[in-house]
Amino acid sequence: MRQKSKNILSISACCLSSLLFFSVAAADHDHGHDKHESKNLPPVTNETYRQECGACHFVYQPGLLPAGSWEKIMNQLPAHFAEELEIEQGAKNVIADYLRSNAAEHASAERAAKILKSLNGQKTLRITEIPYIRKKHRELQQDIFSRQSVGSLANCPACHTSAEQGVYEDDLVKIPQ
Ligand code: HEC
Ligand code: HEC
């Protein structure tokens, strides 16, 4: 509701001059707004996933990886990168289902489509190895990652202040010291 009235305000502020221009610009504006919205990844909604998988690192939105990647991750829990994960079968099934059914293929977000396109069928285990994600960060100086406040590129919320909401807009990035 708030968003809507803001739209109307900004439309009337910029386009009152001509009725024709008004209607064209309004259509344009709406389109731009939808596009912006649809870039964002749906935030995490599953509490089991949040609890079991958020103990050591950020709870990545399922839309950041394809279903095949999540499946591989969930099938390799005893060798989860450097860790040995033990998750009770019931919880494991809940998490696997949640990740599979909300994976990049099922997220309508523009970013999820870009991730899938850049992976081109590969099932990487790491979000940080997705070509699209690497490309977006290639200009960052390496020394940023050795800062204690960052640690690695996998620590999305260190720099993306709205990572928790699934919003990775570049104007909401703040690199910590
Ligand atoms: C005991 C700690 C721990 C728990 C619990 C844990 N992880 Fe991890 N996870 C790690 C470590 C360590 C890494 C590798 C980090 C690195 O190398 O930067 C990692 C990396 C990842 C990555 C790749 C990040 C990247 O580099 O793009 C994903 C995806 C991931 N974990 C998903 C999960 C899921 C899903 C669960 C729950 C089933 C989970 N993790 C639970 C420790 C954990
Ligand atoms: C060290 C800080 C840092 C970390 C950690 C980081 N990012 Fe970024 N990210 C940036 C910066 C800076 C940009 C903006 C690059 C630019 O201006 O084009 C960016 C851009 C992006 C973009 C593109 C935004 C756009 O609108 O074009 C995405 C998507 C993104 N990051 C996702 C992630 C994800 C997912 C993670 C965690 C796996 C992550 N980032 C970790 C700093 C970081």
Contacts of 132 (CB under 8 A, 6+ apart): 114, 115, 117, 118, 119
pLDDT of residue 108: 87
pLDDT of residue 23: 40
The first and second tokens of residue 123, run together, are 């099932």
Residue from 44, 155, 159 to probe ligand 2 pocket by mutation (most atoms less than 8 Å from CB):
159
Contacts of 94 (CB under 8 A, 6+ apart): 46, 48, 49
How many whole angstroms separate alpha carbon 13 and alpha carbon 93? 52
Per-residue pLDDT at 165 exceeds 80: yes
Please name which of 81, 84, 96 lies closest in space to residue 48, comparing C-alpha atoms. Answer: 96
Please name which of 116, 24, 29 lies closest in space to residue 65, comparing C-alpha atoms. Answer: 116
The pLDDT confidence band at residue 38, using thresholds 50, 70 and 90, is confident
Residue that the structure tokens 């396109």 belong to: 117
In the chain the first and final C-alpha atoms are separated, in Å, by 37
How many whole angstroms separate alpha carbon 85 and alpha carbon 67? 20
Per-residue pLDDT at 163 exceeds 80: yes
Residue from 53, 75, 93, 168 to probe ligand 1 pocket by mutation (most atoms less than 8 Å from CB):
53
Average pLDDT over the chain, rounded to whole? 85
Asked if residue 109 lies in contact with residue 42, where contact means CB atoms within 8 angstroms, the answer is: yes
Binding site membership of 170 for ligand 2 (Cβ less than 6 Å) = yes
Q: Quick one: average pLDDT of 91-108? A: 96
The pLDDT confidence band at residue 37, using thresholds 50, 70 and 90, is low
